[in-house]
Amino acid sequence: MADLLERLLELHRRGIELPARLTLEDQRRILAGEWPPGPTAPRKRGNHKGVFPTEPFPWATPGRQLHLVLPGYLPPSLNEYSRRKSVRIRAVPEAVQHIRWALLEAKADGRPFWRPRLEIRLWFPVRRRRDRRTNWTKVLEDALVDAGLIVDDSEEWCETLPPETGVDPRNPRTEIILTERGPV
């Protein structure tokens, strides 16, 4: 048990994120030095120097898709995000929490995508004129990086399509669709 705790502390110091609950298989792999299981996305934003993988992940398969639905959650627009400090402080952690819940509901493995295509669909509760140039994707891109689903949100690593919007008064939500493009 002490060996496992020492190994967990070492992984924590190295900045490697662990699942909330460790299975017996995970514990065995940690003790055997086989953790993390493969290339992982960086945990901290802005500390990427030398962290980007140079080869596709072993599980990377072009066409692999993940559809996440975040019920009741709409990200702040870039105008709200840039004007109010209180929104900036809580926006990304709140989005990460919603993404992790959606991963649990989708029973997804949470492995990072290799150079994904990102589609975002926003379903608003009311029909209102909205500025098409307002970027709702910034917070979601940052949250996907922090959740470890994409390596980086730059154009080199992630092709982000313009968000689609619609109206659904009974079920406002955000849908995120990640599709693996494979080696480029």
Q: Are residues 169 and 109 in the same domain?
A: yes
Residue 157, in any domain of the structure: yes
Q: Are residues 25 and 102 in the same domain?
A: no
Residue 41, in any domain of the structure: no
- For the whole model, what pTM was predicted? 0.67
State the average pLDDT over residues 90-111.
85
**How many domains does the chain contain in total?**
2
Q: Are residues 27 and 102 in the same domain?
A: no
Residue 24: give the domain boundaries: 2-31
Q: Are residues 140 and 79 in the same domain?
A: yes
State the average pLDDT over residues 103-116.
84
pLDDT tens column, 41-76: 444 444 444 466 767 777 778 888 999 999 988 888
Q: Are residues 9 and 93 in the same domain?
A: no
SS3 content of the chain, % helix, strand, coil (to 5): 30, 15, 50
Angle at 64 (CA atoms; ends 96, 118), nearest 5 degrees: 45
